[in-house]
Structure 1
Amino acid sequence: MVFSKSFYTYLTIISLLFNLFHFSYIEAQNDGFTVNLIRKRPNNIITNGVQAPTKAYLGQYLMELYIGTPPIKILAEVDTGSDLVWVQCVPCPGCYEQMNPMFDPLKSSTYNNISCDSPLCQHLYSHGCSPENICNYNYGYADNSVTNGLLAQETITLTSNTGKSVGVPKILFGCGHNDTGNFNDHEMGIIGLGNGPMSLISQLGPLSGGKKFSQCLVPFHTDISISSKMSFGKGSEVLGVDVVTTPLVSTEQDIQYRVTLLGISVEETFLPFDTNIAKGNIMIDSGTPPTYLPQALYDRVATEVRNRVSLKPISDDPSIGDQLCYRTQNNLNGPTLTFHFEGANVTLTPVQIFIPPKDGVFCLALAKNSGNDPSIYGNFAQSNYLIGFDLEKQVVSFKPTDCTKH
Structure 2
Amino acid sequence: MNTLSFLILSFFSLCFSISFSHAVVVLVLNLFTATPQNHHSTIVNAAHRSIIRVNHFYKNSLASTPESTVIPNTGSDIVWLQCEPCKQCYNQTTPKFNPSKSSSYINIPCSSILCHSVRSTSCNDQIFCEYTINYGDDSHSQGDLSVETLTLDSTTGSPVSFPKTVIGCGNNNTGRLEVQGSGIVGLGGGPVSLITQLGSSIGGEFSYCLVPLDNKESNTTSKLSFGDAAVVSGDNVVSTPIIKKDPSVYYVLTLEAFSVGNKRVEFGGSSEDGDEGNIIIDSGTTLMVLPADVYKNLESAVVDLVKLKRVDDPYKLFGLCYSATLDEYDFPLITAHFKGADVELHSISTFTQALDGLVCLAFLPGGAIFGNLAQQNLLVGCDLQQGTVSFKPTDCTKV
TM-score interval, smaller chain? 0.7 to 0.9
Task: Find the aligned partners of 1:215 and 1:322 in 2 and give their Cα distance.
Answer: 28
Range that drifts further, 117-126 or 55-64: 55-64
Assess if the C-alpha contact under 8 Å between 1:244 and 1:344 holds in 2: yes
- 1:314 maps to 311
**Alignment of structure 1 residues 4-403 onto 2, 5 Å:** 32-35=5-8, 36-39=15-18, 54=29, 56-57=31-32, 58=42, 60=53, 72-129=66-123, 133-208=127-202, 210-223=203-216, 225-274=219-268, 277=273, 278-315=275-312, 317-321=313-317, 323-331=319-327, 332-369=329-366, 373=367, 375-403=368-396
Task: Find the aligned partners of 2:61 and 2:165 in 1 and give their Cα distance.
Answer: 10
Assess if the C-alpha contact under 8 Å between 1:214 and 1:386 holds in 2: yes
| CA-based RMSD | 2.8
Task: Find the aligned partners of 1:64 and 1:170 in 2 and give their Cα distance.
Answer: 27
Output the TM-score relative to the length of structure 1. Answer: 0.82
Query: By how many angstroms is 1:289 displaced?
Result: 0.5
Query: By how many angstroms is 1:93 displaced?
Result: 2.8
Assess if the C-alpha contact under 8 Å between 1:52 and 1:159 holds in 2: no
Aligned amino acid, residue 104 of structure 1:
N
Query: By how many angstroms is 1:131 displaced?
Result: 5.7
Assess if the C-alpha contact under 8 Å between 2:4 and 2:201 holds in 1: no
Query: By how many angstroms is 1:99 displaced?
Result: 2.2
- Structure 2 segments unaligned to the other structure (5+ residues): 9-14, 33-41, 43-51
Task: Find the aligned partners of 2:395 and 2:210 in 1 and give their Cα distance.
Answer: 9
Assess if the C-alpha contact under 8 Å between 2:149 and 2:162 holds in 1: yes
Q: State the aligned residue count.
A: 363
Assess if the C-alpha contact under 8 Å between 2:326 and 2:353 holds in 1: no
Q: Percent identity?
A: 39
Residues 166-196 of structure 1, C-alpha deviations (whole Å, 9 max, x = no match): 3332211101101112222222111111101
Output the TM-score relative to the length of structure 2. Answer: 0.83
Residues 148-175 of structure 1, C-alpha deviations (whole Å, 9 max, x = no match): 0001111223221144433332211101
Range that drifts further, 213-222 or 335-344: 213-222
Task: Find the aligned partners of 1:323 and 1:226 in 2 and give their Cα distance.
Answer: 32
Assess if the C-alpha contact under 8 Å between 1:65 and 1:156 holds in 2: no
Range that drifts further, 295-304 or 395-404: 295-304
Q: CA 1:71/1:118 → structure 2, altered by over 3 Å: closer, same or farther?
A: farther
Q: Which has the higher contact order (CA 8 A, sep 6+)?
A: 1
- 1:12 maps to none
Equivalent position SS for 2:200? helix
Residues 326-384 of structure 1, C-alpha deviations (whole Å, 9 max, x = no match): 23345253101000000000001111111123333221110001xxx4x1100000111
Query: By how many angstroms is 1:98 displaced?
Result: 1.7
Residues 34-68 of structure 1, C-alpha deviations (whole Å, 9 max, x = no match): 245345999xxxxxxxx966461445467889999
